[in-house]
Chains A and B, each alone.
Chain A
Amino acid sequence: MTDFVLKRMVALLLPFVQMFGLYVIFHGHLSPGGSFSGGIVTGLGLIAFSLVFGIERSEEKITERMTTLIESFGALWYGAMGLVGILRGTSFLMNKGSGISLGVPGKLYSGGLILLITLGVGLKVASTMVTLFTSLMEEED
């Protein structure tokens, strides 16, 4: 695809799409949406880039190994956050009860571990979208 208009539009929109996706992830506990919807928006931004600029260019930006790493990291991060409760002597995924400060209601940091957990899930969902897309693209051989 060598369309000038398409390339300019995606180049212009991409930062905002990514920013919006990250916004939705980080505000999962405050506003509608969360790690799943935000992760998908972030992932779709990367997919739009590789659709318009070609899969080789996007491979230069994020290698397949990198997406696999992020994907595994997201899932492991979730498990690690769950273990915080156990390490503090309470049960798995325990948040306030295991002595984590909940922050000020309504502010960005207001859910204890929830912000960190949604970050992990968001990363996982975004990289899964990219991995799915690249494996479907490579299917043609």
Chain B
Amino acid sequence: MAAAVKDNLPVLLIVTLLSSAYLLPILTRVRKFRLVEFFAVFVLALTFTGGVVLAYKVLATGAFNYIVGGWPAPWGIELTINALSGIFLLTIGLVTIPILLYASADLVEEVGSRQRAIWFLTLFLLLTAAASGLAVTGDMFNIFVFVEVATIASCAIVSARNDAASVEATFKYLMLATIGSGFVLLGIGFLYMLTGNLNLNFINMELSTTWHNYPTALWMAMSFFTVGFGVKSALFPLHVWLPDAHSTAITPASAVLSSLAVKGYIVALLKVFYLAVGAKIIFALPITNILLLLGMIAIIAGALFALSQDELKRRLAFSTVSQIGYIFLGIGLGTIQGLAGGLLHILSHGITKALLFLAAGTIVKRTGKTRISHLSGLGFEMPITFGVFAVGTLSMIGIPLFSGFVSKWQLLLGSLEKGNYLAVLVLIGGSLLAAAYLLPVLRVAFFQKSEEEQIREPEAPYVQKVAMLFLAVVIIFVGMFPGIFLELARQAAESLLGMEVLL
């Protein structure tokens, strides 16, 4: 039995998450709602364990394929598990478990009724399943299916509260995300037309011999993919839906969207670029230079937009735009060091932004104050919440001993290695701007006396404090012992870029 589970682990991850998502709606009669929430957290913990096992296996023995249904590759469905899947599965687990734990404390109260709370849990598990699916899938068709599942689930999760602002944000998000899906589908259509295959490895084999015949069509396909996934992962000029969607959703929804949902599309883009098309062809096209430029613009522009927001959650949402720029900068550098830094930033931004959103949500919920300038003197009233917010801030800026430092340092080394001094300047400028838009929150909260008499607010419930402290510990752990994560990111970058680019 144990051997059967171990052999079929890649597909069992997705099946467990999807089945549990479908099991939840029929659990409405369970008297204690806490049990339902506990079940959802348990499922996430189970799949996280699976993810850790897979990541360990990849580190030990390298990438491997899993064949679904016994039909070999060009006919059947193939799952490809490589170091990229490993690092993303780790991110998924580390982020979703604390977020759902946090949500379980006051979910019914937040979304209105038990029925809606159950739907929220279903959507949450569907989103996690889609993200895990994107991590392990090995063919174009399943990339499209999981991208669609993730899009629909994340659109619906934004409107969990069902008030005017979140419904408007959902509508905006839905329209733009659907346009993005259309672009992705066109791209897949082009690749299928050129190669006659949907399996990533087979597309790669086919293209490596014939791509000289259709350079324009390939270029078109790549630009469709870049725009499609760019819209969904909020690459700078295409980010317009993100601030509304991420700031109006309920706290756990904003956290999971910002830290996980946008990253899944980046993983899908990387799979299309390097597993399907291949590094050699990608570098013959100017696509990485475009991504590098857009990434740099995103870092600076996102940070400047964040600086101009006074509302706490909106500032964090614009900060996500800026941090997504770091990941695209890493991809755009096109070196192993740079890509490893970008991949590591998926993990480190995931845990950091989840923590910041959870802390911000607690602040807004407990004090009713959404604006940063109104937070004066609250720091000592809610020491744990603002304490973990400080940890998140330091990690976001990139102070040593916190996880943000590790990934930004790798990106910096990558840019220096490439001799791209503009990127070095942008990276440092982005960090300074991050300090400029996040540190004032702490300054106002700790060092400003409030004029009005504070009503002593109780701290967050026990479970929420545990969830936030867990994330803070993970951030410091990754910052202090980054070895295994670095190794995984490096191996992922090496396997994606292949041996062609050792310059």
Contact = CB atoms under 8 A, between A and B. Distances in A.
Interface of A: 65, 68-69, 71-73, 75-76, 79, 82-83, 85-87, 89-98
B69 A75 contact: no
State the 4 A-B residue pairs at the shortest beta-carbon distance, nearest first.
A93-B69, A75-B22, A92-B11, A97-B70
A10 B78 CA distance: 46
Contacts of A96: 70
Contacts of A95: 69-70
10 contacts: A69-B26, A72-B23, A75-B22, A76-B19, A91-B67, A93-B68, A93-B69, A96-B70, A97-B70, A98-B70
Contacts of A72: 22-23, 25-26
A89 B25 contact: no
A79 B18 contact: yes
Contacts of B70: 85, 90-91, 94-98
A83 B11 CA distance: 10
B164 interface: no
Contacts of A65: 28
Interface in B365-381: none
B72 to A, nearest CB: 11
B15 interface: yes
Given A92-B8, A94-B70, A97-B70, A71 B25 contact: yes
B70 to A, nearest CB: 4
B66 interface: yes
Contacts, number: 56
Contact of A82 (B15, B26, B66, B67): B15
B4 interface: yes
A109 to B, nearest CB: 19
B12 interface: yes
Contacts of A92: 8, 11-12, 15, 68-69
Contacts of A73: 26
B4 A89 contact: yes
Contact of B19 (A69, A75, A87): A75
B295 to A, nearest CB: 38
A134 to B, nearest CB: 14
A89 B8 CA distance: 10
A44 B11 CA distance: 33
A68 B12 contact: no
Contacts of A83: 15
A75 B16 CA distance: 12
Interface residues of B, number: 19
A76 B66 contact: no
B382 to A, nearest CB: 39
A85 to B, nearest CB: 7
Interface in B1-53: 4-5, 7-8, 11-12, 15, 18-19, 22-23, 25-26, 28
A86 B3 CA distance: 10
A83 B68 CA distance: 11
Contacts of A90: 70
A113 to B, nearest CB: 10
A45 B463 CA distance: 48
Contact of A79 (B5, B15, B66, B68): B15
A4 B195 CA distance: 58
A92 B18 CA distance: 14
Given A73-B26, A79-B19, A79-B22, 9 more contacts: A72-B25, A76-B23, A86-B12, A91-B69, A92-B8, A92-B15, A93-B68, A96-B70, A98-B70
Contacts of B28: 65
A87 B22 CA distance: 21
A115 to B, nearest CB: 16
A94 B4 CA distance: 13
A65 B115 CA distance: 12
Contacts of A69: 26
Interface in B54-108: 66-70
Contacts of A87: 4
A85 B69 contact: yes
Nearest to A70: B26
B66 to A, nearest CB: 7
A76 B69 contact: no
Contacts of A68: 25-26
A91 B19 contact: no
Contacts of A89: 4
Contacts of B4: 86-87, 89
Contacts of B8: 86, 91-92
A76 B22 contact: yes
Contacts of A71: 22, 25
Find the residue from A87, A89, A91 having the highest chain B CB count within 10 A: A91
A92 to B, nearest CB: 4
A79 B12 CA distance: 10
A21 B26 CA distance: 26
Contacts of A75: 18-19, 22
B26 A94 contact: no
A57 B269 CA distance: 50
B68 A91 contact: yes
A85 B68 CA distance: 10
Nearest to B5: A86
A90 B5 CA distance: 11
